Amino acid sequence: MTSSQTVIKLHNTKTRSKQVFTPIDAQNVRMYVCGPTVYDRAHLGNARPVVVFDILNRLLRHVYGETHVTYARNFTDVDDKINTRAAESGRDISEITEETITWFLQDMAALGAKDPDLMPRATQYISQMVAMIGDLINKGHAYAAEGHVLFSVESYKEYGALSGRSVDDMIAGARVEVAPYKRNPMDFVLWKPSSDDLPGWESPWGRGRPGWHIECSAMAHDLLGQSFDIHGGGNDLMFPHHENEIAQSCCAHPDGTFAKVWMHNEMLQVEGKKMSKSLGNFFTVRDLLDKGVPGEVIRFVFLSTHYGKPMDWTEKKAGEAKATLLKWYRMVDNAEDETVPQAMIDALADDLNTAKALTELHSYASKGDSAALSGAMRFLGLLGDRLPDWAAKPSVDLSYFENMLAAAREKAMETKDFSGVDDLKKTFMQAGVEVRMSKDGVELLPAAGFDMTKLEALK
């Protein structure tokens, strides 16, 4: 049992069931998540696994201790898409990847995501990949052919277990590369030759570069060992990427289990449709941020849907999220003695039920429990050390207008004609002012879109 007595349950793709999470070593909980291929800005769908596994990382650290969790997420910085981008732009590959990594980390930080403990780059682990490929050849699981090295799918009897597909089904349904040097259509590339104008490294099979799948296997083994706790990513990676990772890792290290728990987030839609450039609904995280959609709002919308369900991004959801967050920020601005509520932790411990966790926050807000709301928002990454700039109250004196509204209300109480009060409230709201009226008095609070010029006409 963990120190906080919290029992975490996670849906394991491998077993197709929700199970109690029991780490291999509670003093050394290890998680690996597939990161981006760095050739362009991260689109909104790329951000979903970042937020999902950031929440899981926070939960694991809360339960097992800050120093007992290792979270690794890689950067694929050698890839044909990067090579193509370099050829099109005339820019150096390293310049493109360095710039894109910086962009990615900045954009994800804007969404409240903490940097993982380890962020390996594929190009830093070429020697480990070459060694692992050589080991697979020696064990009869891979073969060299025409400058390529391929993994022999038939050599691993469990191939297809993660995605639940048979090899015959996969051959029939997959668009596999037909090549004369393949013994089996499903065999996949571990190493391929590089021409002089492409990135390449010396190897026993000639100058070349790694295939995509071997990267994560080599990096995960080097950083986390032959057996670790959780492997995550989008469900679009389940096949073939994760299936291939399992095959090559388990064949290279038969005494290990590779990942004990596999977690996959569902895909993202925009206004009910799959995001695609052809539909004109494709945009990056930076596109939204530059249009004035705060990172906290994007994160809130993500958390509103369970990671195992498709998530639909809509402008309506973003607007509702912003209004809710503004209200909450007003409540927690001066919160003292904040706490991390166990009810919210319990919701997250139930297979990362972030939607239920947000329901708990709505409950704290309705009860006026600013301490619980503040602690919960901070835990979920919706609140930093201070209110975000877009939510901070403008330093402006509205006492003149408060007195005006109070006098109008007093007169209305006598005449029973509240039309003047209603007109004032409408003007205030159009100027981005929140109106609070109670038996104790009147309070005006600058809110989103506050515009003092719209109040000057009242003077």
318-356: per-residue pLDDT in tens?
999 998 999 899 889 877 788 999 999 999 999 999 999
Angle at 198 between CA 194 and CA 203, to 5 degrees: 40
Q: For the whole model, what pTM was predicted?
A: 0.87
Q: Provide φ and ψ at 249, rounded to 5°.
A: -70, -45
Judged by average pLDDT, the poorest of 19-28, 131-140, 386-395 is 386-395
pLDDT for 43-59, tens place per residue? 999 999 999 999 999 99
What distance lies between CA 450 and its chain's CA centroid?
Answer: 31
CA distances from residue 47 to 41, 44, 182, 311 in whole angstroms, order as listed: 11, 5, 36, 12
| Residues 48/311, Cβ–Cβ less than 8 Å | yes
Segment (H or E) for 342: helix 342-349
**202-223 pLDDT, tens per residue?**
999 999 999 999 999 999 999 9
In the beta sheet, which residues pair with residue 312?
269
40 neighbors 76 (Cβ within 8 angstroms): no
CA distance 66 to 58: 9
Domains of the chain, with CATH numbers? 9-265 (3.40.50.620), 290-391 (1.20.120), 399-458 (no CATH)
Please, which residues have CB within 8 angstroms of residue 30's CB and are 6 or more apart in sequence?
A: 24, 69, 70, 72, 224, 225, 228, 229, 230
